[in-house]
Amino acid sequence: MPLMPRVLALDTATQACTLALWDEQRVRARHAVEARAHNRHVLTMLAEVLDGQRLSDAVDVIACGVGPGSFTGLRVAVSVAQGLAWSQNLPVHGFCTLTAQVHAAAASGLLRDGAMVLTTIDAQINQLYARWGRWIGGRFLPEGDVVVSAPEALPLPDTLEPLVLLGSGAHYCEQLPSSVRDLAEVFDEVTPNAAVMAELLGTGALTLAPQPAYELSPQYVQRDIGWKKLAEQVRRG
């Protein structure tokens, strides 16, 4: 593995389809926010960032968002990452989509050192995926596991200030506990950004353990939520 590996990063777990290729000289990235269209975009984006190069000549490692998020979206990124890795015998880094949102927010200058961060993704049917953590010294330090919860039942850490609320789950803000509503600075349009993740991994600013492609799997968090969504659709129909 080169000292500064060329990284292909992608994430399709949210409404954003994001893909980027980083090498020592530049980042080539594509990013589109269009729900339920990721399977139509991701391979076109890949061809555009490769710009005529063969995968074997352009990429040393693949980084893939593994969720939580949309069931269909998760499968798109993981399937593409596995197929590419298998075809060229490349290592894969799986990264948490909620954590990727934090790095995207930091790259946009939205986080102050020491901030408590609640990073969220809308899980539909009045639930959200969420993770708490502190942003300290350019690193996200999670506090607790990823959860899926009704907004009003979200578990809270001991200390909230200063609080930043990120991601699509923020549209449930009025249903969140009052302590969160009253304190949070809200950035609901933040999504994962593959360009940020590719550069962090390529420069070594962020390290993740590599894994073989067959071990890469989506982080569904709650396996029966898909059946709940189906039941909700049936009731509405």
- CA angle 204/68/137 to nearest 5° reads 35
* 46 and 83 in a common domain: yes
Q: Which domain holds residue 24?
A: 7-96+192-236
* 114 and 79 in a common domain: no
* 225 and 116 in a common domain: no
Written as tens digits, the pLDDT of the chain (237 aa) is 666 899 999 999 999 999 999 998 789 999 999 877 888 899 999 999 999 999 999 999 999 999 999 988 999 999 999 999 999 999 999 999 999 999 999 999 999 999 999 999 999 889 999 999 999 999 999 999 999 999 999 999 999 989 999 999 999 999 999 999 999 999 999 999 999 999 999 999 999 999 999 999 998 886 455 444 434 433 444
**Cα-Cα-Cα-Cα dihedral of 92, 98, 100, 104, to 10°?**
170
d(CA 125, CA 229): 6
Buried b (16+ CB within 10 A) or exposed e, 206-234: bebebeebeebebbbbeeebeeeeeeeee
User: Is the distance from CB of 85 to CB of 97 less than 8 angstroms?
Assistant: no
Is residue 82 situated within a structural domain? yes
* 54 and 15 in a common domain: yes
Is residue 104 situated within a structural domain? no
* 89 and 32 in a common domain: yes
Is residue 14 situated within a structural domain? yes
* 123 and 55 in a common domain: no
